[in-house]
Amino acid sequence: MNTLNVQKCGLIFGSFLGLWHLVWSLLVLLGLAQPFLDFIFRLHMITPPYTVLPFNLGSAIGLVVVTFLFGYVVGWVLAMIWNTVVKMK
């Protein structure tokens, strides 16, 4: 089996999570986040308990940056675990 490049895996996971939260921020900006959130909760047969706050650019940037960094660390750790397991075989 091949080993994984930990930097690339970190960038892939980080980019995925960052993009996911960028889309969420855009939904908030466009006023579509509350209906979407209500729809998702109702699909799970849950009364929607949350209210989406107004868009805040600083919070949106912080959200995207923090989730990118978190995703990068998760991707890096998973690649390291993968590489360790591959070496054991």
23-39 tens-digit pLDDT: 999 999 999 999 999 99
pLDDT at residue 43 in the model: 98
Kindly state whether residue 1 falls inside one of the protein's structural domains.
no
- Reading the block at residue 77, the tokens are 């750790």
- Reading the block at residue 54, the tokens are 């107004």
Model confidence at 1, pLDDT cuts 50, 70, 90, reads confident
Q: Which domain holds residue 55?
A: 6-88
Kindly state whether residue 55 falls inside one of the protein's structural domains.
yes
Kindly state whether residue 10 falls inside one of the protein's structural domains.
yes
Considering the chain, what is the average pLDDT of its residues? 97
Total domain count, the chain: 1
Kindly state whether residue 52 falls inside one of the protein's structural domains.
yes
Q: Report d(CA 78, CA 81) in Å as an integer.
A: 5
Kindly state whether residue 44 falls inside one of the protein's structural domains.
yes
Span 7-17, mean pLDDT?
98
Span 70-76, mean pLDDT?
98
pLDDT at residue 32 in the model: 98
